[in-house]
Amino acid sequence: MTGSGKRGADSERWLAVSLRTLHLAGVVWVGSAVIGGQAVHHAASALLLASGLALLVADLLAGRIALRELAGVVVLLKLVLVAWLAFDARHAAGIFWTLLVVSSFASHAPKGFRHWPTRR
């Protein structure tokens, strides 16, 4: 790319890196509370939910994900689970570990599986 196209791609990349960094910070914050047997702070859940939603919007706008594909459905499910985690301390540990496992599988599964059904 040349000119403003490259700058746009660079700024989109930096936005994605920033959002993913915030998201990982939220994962660590929530995870440390769960592992430490503490109540999950609402700000940690809010950071995780807001950054996850922002990542979803960025991926939708860039065409990297579609809600009608398995990857999009999984992201929506994860957002629902994060919202549940924020309001149900009794199930926080189970929800956290479910999110961690589902996220790992969904992120690292073969492309054909993540984007099923295949786009036409």
Question: What is the band of 9 on the pLDDT scale with cuts at 50, 70, 90?
Answer: confident
Question: What is the predicted pLDDT for the residue at 65?
Answer: 93
Lowest-pLDDT range of 35-39, 68-72, 115-119: 115-119
> Per the structure block, which two tokens stand in for 20?
């993913």
CA atoms of 7 and 26, how far apart (whole Å): 28
One-letter amino acid at 84 equals W
pLDDT in tens, 94-116: 999 999 999 999 999 999 999 99
Q: Is the pLDDT of residue 75 over 70?
A: yes
CA atoms of 5 and 118, how far apart (whole Å): 29
pLDDT in tens, 12-35: 999 999 999 999 999 999 999 999
Question: What is the band of 119 on the pLDDT scale with cuts at 50, 70, 90?
Answer: low
pLDDT in tens, 36-62: 999 999 999 999 999 999 999 999 999
Q: Is the pLDDT of residue 74 over 50?
A: yes
Question: What is the predicted pLDDT for the residue at 1?
Answer: 46
